[in-house]
Structure 1
Amino acid sequence: MKTLVTLIAASFLLVLTGCNTVKGVGQDIQKAGEKIEGAAKK
């Protein structure tokens, strides 16, 4: 669980540094949420 939280936090930081607009942040967060949701279903 600790590894998962660390991975999510690191991914979130990379996403924030990779986008330039508020719209981009929203899209990146949505994509991250979809990946987390998919991992949770497995």
Structure 2
Amino acid sequence: MEHNMKNRHFIMLLVALGLSSCATIEGIGKDLESAGEAIQEGTRDKGE
């Protein structure tokens, strides 16, 4: 019984970490997108 409870806690921990990492990955994606847009604007300015 004790082993089964440890497995459940471990699975709940993995689910919690998975859900929290989704928000982090989305934030990183937005940061990378804004950095890419800044680079594009910088290259446009140099080309003019």
- Cα distance per residue 1:11-31 (max 9 Å; x no partner): xxxxxxxxx700000000000
Q: How many residues of Structure 1 are paired with residues of Structure 2 in the alignment?
A: 23
Structure-1 residue corresponding to 2:9 = none
More relative contact order, 1 or 2 (CA 8 Å, 6+ apart): 1
**CA radius of gyration, larger in:** 2
CA distance in 1, matches of 2:29, 2:43: 21
**Structure 1 stretches of 5 or more lacking a match?**
1-19
Deviation >4 Å, runs of 4+ = none
Identity over aligned pairs, percent = 35
